[in-house]
Amino acid sequence: MIHLSRNNLRATFLIGFVLAIAVLAGLATPLAKTQTSGDITALSHEAFSQISEVYRVGGQAPELVAKLNAALDLIGQARLRRSQGDETGAAQLEQQARVEILDIMNEVPSAHQKAQRDSATKTFQIIGSIPLVVVLSTCIFYAGLRTWRWYEKTKLFEMRIIEKKKD
Amino acid sequence: MRRKRISSRDLRLLVIFIGIVTVVTSGVAYRTLNPPPSEQFFAMWILGFEGLAQNYYPDDNPNLAVGEELNWTLGIYNHMRSIQYVVVRVKVLNSTLVGPDDLTGTPSPITPLYEFTRVLLDNETWSIPFIWNIQNITQRGPMSMLSGLLVNQIPFNGELAMAVSGFNYRLVFELWFYDQTKNDLAFSWREDDSYRSVWTQVWFNATTPSIT
């Protein structure tokens, strides 16, 4: 009786174990899908934020934007493949997109540094041009003033007193 | 040798001139480095055949038949003064399903049929071809169930939307953008104590079973 109970217990335990594994596997698969899909979207958001920062400091990175758009196209295609049941094709496209996005994120720091450099150069050039413009325009104004004075003087020398004839 | 000296009157004029030029040039430099803020907005529009704001339906008839192709162009313009991550969500609704609300800045709660995603530079315009047709309509008594659409050669099947006798379906296009402060997509933003959101819709009927 006891022997039978032990066998039953073992069998129940085994069935329970197998069922638990099956349930966990079933749960894990859609979770993995969601995680992959959500992951890649979050990664694209992160890449966008980094590129956005480059623009915020006054830089330009159209090539990175173009790359990110290509990656977003791949993500869109992957979503469609998944909705049509092509899990393998979707995963491949997502992997391609991930590689593209990581590549972008690797290039962002140098683009950011370049943007900061360009911004500093632009500020320096604009502020540096202020005294230059002031000196140049003062010289022109001074030359104009001297010319005006010379013109006034010559006019003075040319002046003649004309007496009105009286009848 | 006679040395030319500047008169006190000219010196005074020069000092005044230098002062004015310095102030004006500094102002111009400041404005160049800090441009004044302009209005921030997105714009979205739909164009019909031949890229015009007309001829949305074949023969201007909004009663569409199964398989009848519509060729639209969706346009989005970014004037938010920064690059933007935008998502256009396409939703199929009928007249009673809740649409987006401008006042509260809330989107339609309906699940999107499809999404277009892109990063837009400041002042950039994005044109999206939107070629679609109805693939299937199922009759359920007086109700018509739109159960198949083909958008840009991509089939969408399922219970998309139901309408009485097939009247008053609408395709709603919502513009979402990535909000970096919320770390999520957002449908609306606050400006001048009110919500701003961008969406548009086109109505159609699916009353004819198939092309004659």
Chain A interface includes B11 (CB < 8 A): no
Q: Is B46 contained in some domain?
A: yes
The nearest CA of chain B is from the CA of A126 a distance in Å of 6
Q: Is B120 contained in some domain?
A: yes
Between residues B36 and B174, the one the model is more confident about: B174
Burial of B204 (0-12, 13-18, 19+ CB in 10 A): buried
Q: Is B76 contained in some domain?
A: yes
Q: Is the pLDDT reported for residue B84 higher than 70?
A: yes
Task: Please state, rounded to an integer, the average pLDDT across all residues of chain B.
Answer: 91
Cβ contact (<8 Å) for A62 and B121?
yes
Please determine, for the modelled complex, whether the ipTM score is greater than 0.90.
Answer: no
Q: Is B2 contained in some domain?
A: no
Total structural domains in chain B? Answer: 1
Three-point CA angle B35, B41, B46, nearest 5°: 140
Q: Is B74 contained in some domain?
A: yes
- Check: pTM over 0.80? Answer yes or no: no
Residue-wise pLDDT tens digits, A144-160: 999 999 998 888 887 77
Q: What residues of chain B lie within 8 A of the CB of A108, using their CB?
A: none
- Give the pLDDT of residue A27: 47
Tell me which residue in B115, B119, B122 faces A68 most closely, judged by beta carbons.
Answer: B119
How many whole angstroms separate alpha carbon B4 and alpha carbon B210?
A: 98
Tell me which residue in B17, B154, B183 faces A138 most closely, judged by beta carbons.
Answer: B17
Cβ contact (<8 Å) for A52 and B83?
yes
For residue B9, which amino acid is it? R
- Give the pLDDT of residue A35: 46
Q: Which residues make beta-bridge pairs with B77?
A: B43, B125
Q: What residues of chain A lie within 8 A of the CB of B115, using their CB?
A: 76, 79
- Give the pLDDT of residue A36: 58
Cβ contact (<8 Å) for B21 and A138?
yes
Number of H helices and E strands in chain A, helices first, is: 3, 0
Q: Is B27 contained in some domain?
A: no
The nearest CA of chain B is from the CA of A23 a distance in Å of 28
* Residue B61 · residue B130 · CB < 8 Å: no
The SS3 of residue B29 is: helix
Nearest C-alpha in A relative to B33: A123
For strands B188-191 and B125-140, give the pairing. unpaired
Q: Two tokens at A87?
A: 């899990």
Average pLDDT rounded to a whole number, residues B110-128: 95
Q: Is B15 contained in some domain?
A: no
- Give the pLDDT of residue A152: 87
Q: Two tokens at A99?
A: 């590689």
How confident is the prediction along chain A (167 residues), in pLDDT tens digits per residue?
445 566 666 766 667 666 666 555 544 444 444 445 678 999 999 999 999 999 999 888 999 999 999 999 999 999 888 888 899 999 999 999 999 999 999 999 999 999 999 989 999 999 999 999 999 999 999 999 999 999 988 888 877 777 777 66
CATH number of the domain bearing residue B138: 2.60.40.10
Partner B, chain A 27-56, Cβ-Cβ below 8 Å? 44-45, 48-49, 51-52, 55-56
Domain boundaries, position B150:
41-208
Q: Is B94 contained in some domain?
A: yes
| Dihedral (CA of A65, B79, B103, B62) sign | negative
